[in-house]
Amino acid sequence: MSRKPIAIASDHAGYDLKSLLARELADMGYEVVDLGTDGPQSVDYPDFGAALAKLVQAGEVERGVLVCGTGIGIAIAANRHPGIRAAVCWDETSARLTREHNDANVLALGARLLGTEVAKACLRTFLGTEFAGGRHERRVAKLG
């Protein structure tokens, strides 16, 4: 089965975790579209959230992963784009429920808040969980 690529992006605070998660995605068999940043030099997170959101909107990638210090700012930046449902997750339960109930298409993580094993678990859960549909469909439709 062929998988669409997964986009990943971060600001400077999320650079190390983004790099680790990009390797994790490749190990899981995904093609990774790394939108940067490419080092720890200070950058503006809205630029990276927007770049990833545009790829998800266009259907060029299946889903996206964003990383900044808390996950919050870069998620806000992505959520400014129609059709993007970026969710900040802090454990496997939040990652599972945001897919099941909210049909989130972008995972946002906080590099300053999560350990690497928790972040990897969030990633695997987010990508491995399907939208439950049913009563959640009308709610998600209202987000558009």
Catalytic sites, residue numbers? 68, 101
The DSSP annotation for 65-98 comes to EEEESSSHHHHHHHHTSTT--EEE-SSHHHHHHH
Find, among 28, 16, 14, the residue nearest to 126 by Cα: 28
Q: Which amino acid is at 127?
A: L
Exposure class string for 83-104: b at 16+ Cβ within 10 A, else e: ebbbbbbbebebbbbbbbbbbb
All residues at 6 or more sequence positions from 17 whose CB lies less than 8 Å from its CB, including other chains: 10, 67, 109, 111, 114, 116, 119
The answer to whether 66 and 108 are in contact (CB under 8 A) is yes
